[in-house]
Amino acid sequence: MIDKVPLPSWMAILILSTTLITPAWAEYADVVINKRAEQAGMRPVIFPHWFHRIRFTCNVCHNDEGFKMKVGANNITMAELVDGKFCGMCHNNENKIAWSLDRCDMCHSGLPGLSSGIQRGDPTRGPGYK
């Protein structure tokens, strides 16, 4: 039976199965932000929730800094960050909390072509999830 399946088709099955089914292995709740970045010639931003939540509670960003708790609802520009809003409240030269905004590559670190969204949610998320 096994001899009747030609070798090239086996290879095709293996290659297709890995390329089509394989998702990204990002950590739970990593966020890709690519509304403008790639259009402006920068890599997409990868925001790791895990990295931030071991250092800050949720309210610091989602209440104090004004990030809405919904994917796509935040419409931030670099100009606002430079003015000290959103990420710029910590990522600046004044607070000594986090690296400043001139370290472009630290945040604009994603692979080209990624689409915006939160990664690795459970399959229970429903049809209205955005």
Partner 1 sequence: MKQADFWILAPLVLGLGVIQVACVNTEPVTTVEKPSVVPAQTASVDDKWLPLAKDKLHDVDGLRDPGNPGFQLHQEPREELSKLPANKARPVINAFGGSPGLMVSKADNLVDWVQAITSGAIRPRRNIATGTGIEVEPPVMDMDILLNPNGSMPPVRFPHRAHTMWLACANCHPAIFIPQKGANPIRMYKILEGEQCGICHSAVAFSLTECSRCHSVQRIPSSLVNPSANKGGGIP
Q: How far is the CB of 111 from partner 1 (least distance, A)?
A: 5
Own/partner pairs for 37-44, CB < 8 Å, 24+ apart? 37/108, 37/110, 38/112, 38/113, 42/104, 42/108, 43/105, 43/108, 43/109, 43/110, 43/111, 43/112, 44/108, 44/110, 44/111, 44/112, 44/114, 44/116
Residue from 35, 38, 56, 101 binding partner 1 (CB under 8 A):
56
Q: Is 13 in the site for partner 1 (CB under 8 A)?
A: yes
Asked if 82 touches partner 1 (CB under 8 A), the answer is no
118 counts as binding partner 1 under rule CB under 8 A = yes
43 counts as binding partner 1 under rule CB under 8 A: yes
